Amino acid sequence: MSIRPIVTVPDPVLREKAKPVRKITPEIQNLIDDMIETMRQAPGVGLAAPQVGVGMQVMVVEYAEGSENADADAEPKPKKLYTLVNPKISRHSKETELGKEGCLSIPDYMGEVERYGTVTVKSLDRHGKSFKLKARGWLARIFQHEIDHLNGVLFIDRTENVWKVEPEEAQEASETV
C-alpha cells in the first residue's frame, strides 16, 4: 500500500467520465488499498479514483454517522469504511438539503451545494459482490459527491456560492466531503 498524490484542478482526469471496472483484478485491489490510505492521510471522508489520476469507477468512503453534529466532548462514533466499484444512484428522495462541501481536489475552497437528502446506491464491493445501501444526510451527500467525481462533475459545478477558506476553516473543509 502506498499514498498516491491527489490530483487537483485543472487536471483533465477530473473532468472525464470514469470507465466501469470490468473485472476486479489484483491491480484494482491495490488501487483500493492505496485510495484508503491516501484518503486517511489527506485526511478526507471520501476519495474517487480520478482524484488519484485513475479514470476507473472506484471510490472509497469512511465516515461515522452523525459525526458532523457530534458534541466535542462526546465519545467518537466508530467510522465505517465503504468500498464501491461501479456505483450508481438507483433512487433518491424528492427532498434536498443545502450543505457546505469541500474537496481534496479543490484545496482551500468550499461551497454550498444542494443534494438529495436520501439516496440508494447500487454497487459492487471490492470482491465483486453486488450490494445496495441507503444513506441519509451527510453520508448521502458524501456518496453523491464521490459519484459526481466518477462522472467528471465537481462540487463547484453545482453551486454559485464558492469561497476561499480561512485558516480556521481548513480542517472543516478537508473533512466536509
The predicted-structure confidence for 39-54, as pLDDT tens digits, reads as follows 999 999 999 999 999 9
Q: Is the pLDDT of residue 73 over 90?
A: no
Domain CATH code at residue 160: 3.90.45.10
Q: Report H helices in 21-99.
A: 26-41
Query: Which grid coordinates belong to 56?
Result: 476507473
Find cell 484545496 and name the residue: 107
Full domain range(s) for residue 61: 12-176
| Residue 146 annotated in active site | yes
The pLDDT tens digits of the residues spanning 135-154 come to: 999 999 999 999 999 999 99
6 lies in a domain? no
- H or E element that contains 162: strand 162-164
3 lies in a domain? no
Query: Residue 32's pLDDT band (boundaries 50, 70, 90)?
Result: very high
How confident is the prediction for the chain on average, in pLDDT? 92
Q: Where does 6-150 show beta strands of DSSP type E?
A: 46-48, 58-63, 80-92, 96-103, 106-116, 118-124, 130-136
147 lies in a domain? yes
Query: Which grid coordinates belong to 149?
Result: 467525481
> Which listed residue (16, 112, 146, 168) is catalytic?
146
Query: Residue 170's pLDDT band (boundaries 50, 70, 90)?
Result: low
7 lies in a domain? no
- Count the helices and strands in the chain (H runs, E runs): 3, 8
Query: Using CA atoms, how far apart are residues 59 and 139, in angstroms rounded to an integer?
Result: 14
- H or E element that contains 175: helix 170-176
pTM for the full model? 0.90
**Beta-bridge partner residues of 131:** 123
68 lies in a domain? yes
164 lies in a domain? yes
55 lies in a domain? yes
Domain count, the chain: 1
2 lies in a domain? no
The residues, ordered by sequence, that sit 6+ positions from 26 with a Cβ below 8 Å of its Cβ are: none
